[in-house]
Amino acid sequence: MQFLLITIDGPAGAGKTTVSRKLAQSLGYRYIDTGALYRGVAFEAKLRGIRHDDDEGLEHLCRVLDIKFVSGKKGTRLITNDSDITDQIRTPEITMLASAVSARSVVRKYLLGLQKDMGKEKGVVFEGRDMGTVVFPDADVKFYLDASCKTRILRRYKELLPKSSATLEEIERDIKNRDENDSARTLAPLKPAKDAIIIDSTVLSVKEVVELMLTHIQKIAGR
């Protein structure tokens, strides 16, 4: 089978990360988590005291920021200007800040070029919000992974439980806020691409979703 560029978009808590990772693994592809790039920009903005709506400050930050993924013994790490920030971008504060900076055009413009460069070599699964609509409109296979709001909230709660004291109510608020921010923004809002294959994972296991995706991929690749 030829090497493809596959995109997976969808709302927070739909299971994109687990599924994208497993799908990339079973195809022997690279996996790129574009949300981590927005989180990286948010983290660096906070570190430098740049507000999420300070476009001038964000533009300057993007100009001096060297942000990249590096694969090594500890898996894929997110590096900004030589610092490994992989473990620091998953806090609730950075999560909300990432959603806020992702609505700014200066940030999206900067990351658009970076993501397009990363997609020059095929054999890759890109996970995000606008992969199939804006960044890779010509992707070979596009998926939009969704699940009911209640399921997404419960999944996120269970995922965070071992390392966070966040209550179910807090997680519900966070997911609903992010849904609103990510879908209502004018720039590259979260929505399925016209030619995306929509998968509702509410009653499906990770294995079932990945198998379903592989079936679609084989069908498309065989055309």
Scan residues 47-106 and list those touching ligand DC (CB under 6 A). 98-99, 102
Report the alpha-carbon distance of residue 154 to residue 36 in Å, rounded.
22
Q: What's the one-letter identity of residue 27?
A: L
Residue 15 vs 35, nearer CB to ligand DC: 35
Q: In what order do the strands lie in the sheet with 5-9?
A: 30-33, 124-128, 5-9, 141-146, 197-200
Q: Which of 23, 24, 29, 39 binds ligand DC (CB under 6 A)?
A: 39
Q: Does residue 20 interact with ligand DC by CB under 6 A? A: no
Is residue 35 part of the contact set for ligand DC (CB under 6 A)? yes
| Among the listed residues 97, 103, 95, the one whose alpha carbon sits nearest the alpha carbon of residue 130 | 103
Nearest to ligand DC of 12, 209 (CB atom): 12
Residues 6 or more apart in contact with residue 161 via CB below 8 angstroms: none
| Interaction of residue 201 with ligand DC, rule CB under 6 A | no
For the four alpha carbons of 6, 12, 13 and 14, in that order, the dihedral sign comes to negative
* Number of residues forming the site for ligand DC (CB under 6 A): 14
For the bound state, the minimum distance from the C-beta of residue 85 to ligand DC, rounded and expressed in Å, comes to 13
Interface residues with ligand DC (CB under 6 A) are: 12, 34-35, 38-39, 98-99, 102, 128-131, 178, 182
